[in-house]
A and B are shown apart, each in its own frame.
Chain A
Amino acid sequence: MKILVCISNVPDTTTKIKFVDNNTKFDTNGIQWIINPWDELALTRALQLKEESSGAIEKITVINVGLIDSEPTIRKALAIGADDAIRINAEPLDAYSVAAQMAEVIKKDPYDIIMAGIESSDYNGSLVGGMLAEFLDIPSVSSVSSLNIDGGNVELSREISGGKEILETKVPFLAIVQKGIAIDPRIPSMRGIMMARKKPLNVSEPIEVDSLTEYSVYELPKPKAKCKMVDPENVKELIDLLHNEAKII
């Protein structure tokens, strides 16, 4: 059995976001890049499944659509424990193009289980997993918070409104995973870090895919309003502020 984990190269979650070119482009200057946190949890679970499988899962591969500057992030995935990696040498323009690029590669060398994070922490589109499953014509399960393999059967659970849904499926399928799939992402060991450069990182040339998205403008959220402290005795001032300043009463 082979597992493929889709990984996005995203800005560190503590990054201060800025835009350039009349707010039409994200300013990547000085950004520290990381594995998308949901993808990192997916990878952690995939590695656990391999370790628990007594050899039934023979390989964990990671795949990324990105230019050469995403390789440090891919190598981090290899250091954490992925066996090999595929980088599709294209700029990730939007969810459609990323899914189409990956589908092209996966069709030639199919996997039993494909895992993708529920969204990427930069654009939060939540689209790639579902689109990829459609391109590959395999079932997909979204919002997966646990995944266990018992022989040929796979048991999945999903968080749903007011409870949990347990599903069974057979391979091949695609799991769109969310928080809970693993508790913490795995920290790479020294040995893993040393091995990362020795593991195969195969670069695949992209196909022609049109981007279906045009970015008009980005807007930063309004800065949080400053908190004003009002003496509990001074109800008149509170009402005055709510009426004239906050304009909510």
Chain B
Amino acid sequence: MNFEFTEEQLMIQQAARDYAQRELIKDVIERDTKAEFPTEHVKNLTELGFMGMVVDTKYNGGGMDTISYVLALEEISKVDSSLGVIISVNNSLVCYGIEEFGTEEQKEKYLKPLASGEKLGAFLLSEPEAGSDATHQRTTAEEKDDHYLLNGTKNWTTNAKCASTYLVIAQTHPEKKHRGINAFLVDKDSSGISLGPHENKMGMRSSDTHSVMFTDVKVPKENRIGEDGFGFKFAMKTLDAGRIGIASQALGIASGAMERSIQYSKERKAFGTEIANHQIIAFKLSDMAVKVENARNLCLKSAWLKDNNQPYGLMSAMAKQYAADIAMEVTTEAVQIHGGYGYVKEYHVERLMREAKLTQIYEGTSEIQKIVISRALLRD
């Protein structure tokens, strides 16, 4: 058992912290208010190597381990979790999916530009009528001679507008139910793709979320990932990895809110003393710290298991459910500690509270995580 980080892991954590505290903080409130995509920050973080940090260096990635990824995402998300999700989707859904299950040709053509950050990726699974129940895909991929024909609508697509590469989950053999689902690499500029309006979200407002419509979109057969019918398994495996990213993002939201609460309660005075000296506030801080530490340990354990090629799906479900739920609790208490100031934008915690809510919903709701966890516990 060793809880020490390596020198490289600490350096990555510090690099992410420096960028977040020095650069992201400057315009995060404005970007949230205007729901503005952080183009310049994505460019800078690409140059620093964050967009494909866990991809192997032979595919132009950063070659970092998952522990480093957790540390970086926590630091970024303390300040701006919209950037957290942009990084997470690109790294642990799109790049991971291609690196783990794609062919060498697919990696050469699609993974390399995604891992270097030259292009961004999006993962298209949710549909208007298929969210948590991902088995009921209505988007179809009809098999033709040398291609598939995609038709249908995908919802809540992060990076929808700015991405160049879509990973699309669609039904090829409806009679086989979820065993008939496939995953495809689709160029966003393919004919027949159109986007719905930018979703006006409660939080994570500067991430770019749209619905995506496919009308007779031709996808070459070589763009299918894995064997025919592998798509559902592919989506579930990829989401196992994706959960580590979202759990780390939720952890960052919680620890960011906690750090702000500690600072504020040491400065703000009430009844003749700093509010931190009131036990009711001190105990709130104590509860926050225990929750944040537990969430961090779950994230890091999931990452450690993944880095050591051990099964991590159960642990990442625990990390995702727990970190998301405590992010909601911690941010709500952070607003309470800040009082009226917490309810206005300048103090950041109201935004963190809005952002926390989404972590309980996307990439598998907290309820779905409980299904994953309990099924694993009850499996013979």
Chain A interface (Cβ < 8 Å from any Cβ of B):
72, 75-76, 79, 184, 187-191, 193-194, 196-197
Contacts and interface: CB of A to CB of B under 8 A. Distances in A.
Contacts of A191: 49, 62
Given A187-B18, A187-B19, A194-B63, A79 B47 contact: no
Interface stretch (B4-12, B81-89, B220-228, B335-343): B4-12
Contact of B7 (A75, A184, A189): A75
Nearest to A191: B49
Interface of B: 7-8, 10-12, 15, 18-19, 22, 47-50, 53, 57, 62-64
A190 B22 contact: no
Contacts of A193: 8, 11-12, 15
A72 B19 contact: no
A185 B8 CA distance: 18
A67 to B, nearest CB: 16
A75 B7 CA distance: 9
B15 A187 contact: yes
6 contacts: A72-B7, A76-B11, A187-B15, A188-B48, A190-B12, A196-B11
Nearest to B47: A189
A183 to B, nearest CB: 11
Contacts of B19: 187
Given A184-B22, A187-B48, A194 B8 contact: yes
A184 B48 CA distance: 15
Nearest to B10: A72
A190 B7 contact: no
Contact of B64 (A72, A79, A190, A197): A190
Contacts of A76: 11
Contacts of B22: 184
Contacts of A188: 11, 15, 48
A188 B47 CA distance: 10
Given A190-B50, A194-B64, 13 more contacts: A72-B7, A79-B11, A184-B22, A187-B15, A187-B18, A188-B15, A190-B62, A190-B64, A191-B62, A193-B8, A194-B8, A194-B62, A196-B11
A42 B18 CA distance: 18
Contacts of B50: 190
A193 B12 CA distance: 8
A190 B53 contact: yes
Question: Nearest 10 CB-CB pairs, A to B?
Answer: A190-B49, A190-B62, A189-B48, A189-B49, A187-B15, A193-B11, A187-B18, A72-B7, A188-B15, A190-B53
B132 to A, nearest CB: 35
A76 B11 CA distance: 7
A72 B49 CA distance: 21
A187 B7 CA distance: 15
A194 B48 contact: no
A188 B22 CA distance: 14
A156 B314 CA distance: 60
Contacts of A190: 12, 48-50, 53, 62-64
B18 A194 contact: no
A233 to B, nearest CB: 20
A63 B317 CA distance: 47
Contacts of A187: 15, 18-19, 48
A228 B64 CA distance: 52
Contacts of A197: 8
A193 B10 CA distance: 10
